Amino acid sequence: MKVADKVIIVTGAGSGIGRELVLLLLSKRALVAGVDLNKTSLDETANLASNIGGRFAGFVTTVADKSAVSALPEKVLEHFGMVDGVINNAGIIQPFVKLNDLDFTTIERVFNVNFYGTLYVIKAFLPILLNRPEAHIANLSSMGGFVSVPGQAIYCAAKAAVKLMSEGLDSELAHTNVRVTIVFPGAIATNIRENSGVSNPETSANGKRSQALSAADAARIIVRGIEDDAHHVFVGRDASLMDKFYRLSPLGATRAIATRMRALLAE
């Protein structure tokens, strides 16, 4: 689906990949409804967006709040009159601790934002998308959605759930006007750690200090995938290589990551 003149929802629009998606979509003549729980960050995105044609509206909403998300379509339709696409970008990671040491409050928060937040947004907007001439849903999973990272077991489980739900959704929508893209970012230079309340040093999946792809580059890859109606989109060389490694040897890939990530976890 070409994004020009389409109304696109972007969750997590206040920073990182979400903000770059907003700005890129606007530069390609889309209209964008940005969703974020942080009003200050969302206002900053709106200020940047005001320099690119004024086709942006921000909606302060917590995607993990089912009632708030259910009320969102009416607000977006009142402003834009239609919705053609959804990019489920909002997400958080967990503290780098072992599953045995992770409290249930954190476990539920990570799943509520990453999986249920994605689900709530899809359920809220899919009936609208099905009535459009063409429409698109892009869900951000993660490299951790197909190969798990020690110390991120619950985050990876939530992103794997996003992957499988999205693949099932794509099959269900195969004979409709709605296409589904599943996005697998590797190491991206964003503030996801701070937004998640995680203070550990940023590292890539190979355990080294990350030589991360910029959020702007990630946004370009994602939007290109949407416009190409791509099914799977791997964002970053690390994600592409790890996908190939995992397909050849699932155990080898997970053990390699475990070995290199060991320093982050207290024994």
Q: Which residues are catalytic?
A: 155
Amino acid at 254: T
Question: For the chain, what is the HEC assignment?
Answer: CCCCCCEEEEECCCCHHHHHHHHHHHHCCCEEEEEECCHHHHHHHHHHHCCCCCCEEEEECCCCCHHHHHCHHHHHHHHHCCCCEEEECCCCCCCCCCHHHCCHHHHHHHHHHHHHHHHHHHHHHHHHHCCCCCEEEEEECCHHHCCCCCCCHHHHHHHHHHHHHHHHHHHHCCCCCEEEEEEEECCEECCHHHHHCCCCCCECCCCCECCCEEHHHHHHHHHHHHHCCCCEEEECHHHHHHHHHHHHCHHHHHHHHHHHHHHHCCC
Nearest to 246 by CA among 188, 184, 155: 184
In this structure, are strands 85-88 and 188-189 parallel, antiparallel, or unpaired? unpaired
The encoded tokens of residue 242 equal 């790890």
Q: Is the dihedral of CA 218, 220, 221, 225 positive or negative?
A: positive
